[in-house]
């Protein structure tokens, strides 16, 4: 199974997927990383694994559609089975999404459909939720609204700090993304 990763930041989900591949737990290959941020740490991570990483600066293009055109040109050159969004902070445009039906995955730190968009954990804490979740879903043209593939929910309590909960969330994300990719890989 061939994967292209789209990301904007740290890349810990990328790292978890790559680790699972290296441990032979996941039969896949990360063909490339593409980021809209030049200094994103994920470029360093990709380099450490000798995985090509590309920077597409949206400022260099006339509009979002043109920048996404460049992203899809890069993606198509790798002929991936899935495009894995892992902390990609831009909303993908309709024409890009329509090019890849049932091929774009995303991970979101909430029990979707609750708390779409940014600061999902903070929203859950503000509402005094007693459980939070992580969701892997297909991307369609709605924000964080495509079909859910897998979700994991865990309880939280008032004695835990936001940082502690965040750490559990990230660990859960790393596990869940690998589990989903394993499942999807059976169909490739």
**Using the rule CB under 6 A, is 10 a contact of ligand GRF?**
yes
Interface with ligand GRF, residue 37, by CB under 6 A: no
Burial of 23 (0-12, 13-18, 19+ CB in 10 A): exposed
The radius of gyration of the chain from alpha carbons, rounded to an integer in Å, stands at 16
Does 68 interact with ligand GRF (rule: CB under 6 A)? no
Q: Rounded to whole angstroms, how far apart are CA atoms 111 and 148?
A: 10
Among 3, 5, 6, 12, binds ligand GRF (CB under 6 A): 12
How many residues make contact with ligand GRF (CB under 6 A)? 12
Alpha-carbon distances, residue 121 vs 17, 67, 114 (angstroms): 23, 30, 10
149 binds ligand GRF (CB under 6 A): no
Q: Tell me whether residue 87 or residue 146 sits nearer to ligand GRF (CB atom).
A: 87
Report which secondary-structure segment, H or E, holds 108.
strand 104-108
Sheet holding 148-155, edge to edge: 53-55, 29-35, 2-7, 82-85, 104-108, 131-138, 148-155
What is the sign, positive or negative, of the torsion defined by CA atoms of 79, 84, 90, 96? positive
Site for ligand GRF in 162-181 (CB under 6 A): 173
Known active-site residue 49: no
Beta bridge mates, 30: 3
Query: Of 6, 36, 87, 181, which one interacts with ligand GRF (CB under 6 A)?
Result: 87
Asked if 11 is part of the footprint of ligand GRF (rule: CB under 6 A), the reply reads yes
Closer residue to ligand GRF, CB minimum distance, 69 or 148: 148
107 interacts with ligand GRF by CB under 6 A: yes
**Would you name the residues annotated as active-site residues?**
108
Return residues touching ligand GRF (CB under 6 A).
Answer: 7, 9-13, 86-87, 107-109, 173
């Amino acid at each position: 199974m061939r994967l292209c990763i789209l990301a904007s930041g740290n890349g810990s989900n990328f790292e978890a997927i790559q680790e699972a591949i290296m441990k032979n737990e996941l039969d896949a290959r990360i063909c490339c990383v593409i980021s809209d941020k030049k200094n994103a740490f994920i470029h360093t991570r990709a380099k450490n694994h000798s995985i090509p990483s590309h920077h597409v600066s949206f400022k260099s293009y006339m509009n979002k559609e043109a920048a996404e055109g460049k992203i899809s040109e890069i993606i198509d050159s790798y002929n991936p089975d899935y495009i894995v969004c892992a902390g990609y902070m831009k909303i993908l445009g309709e024409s890009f999404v329509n090019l890849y039906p049932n091929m774009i995955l995303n991970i979101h730190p909430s029990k979707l459909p609750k708390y779409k968009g940014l600061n999902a954990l903070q929203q859950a804490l503000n509402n005094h939720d007693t459980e939070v979740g992580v969701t892997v879903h297909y991307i369609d043209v709605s924000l964080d609204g495509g079909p859910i593939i897998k979700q994991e929910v865990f309880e939280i309590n008032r004695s835990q700090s936001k940082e502690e909960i965040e750490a559990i969330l990230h660990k859960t994300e790393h596990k869940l993304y690998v589990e989903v990719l394993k499942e999807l890989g059976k169909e490739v």
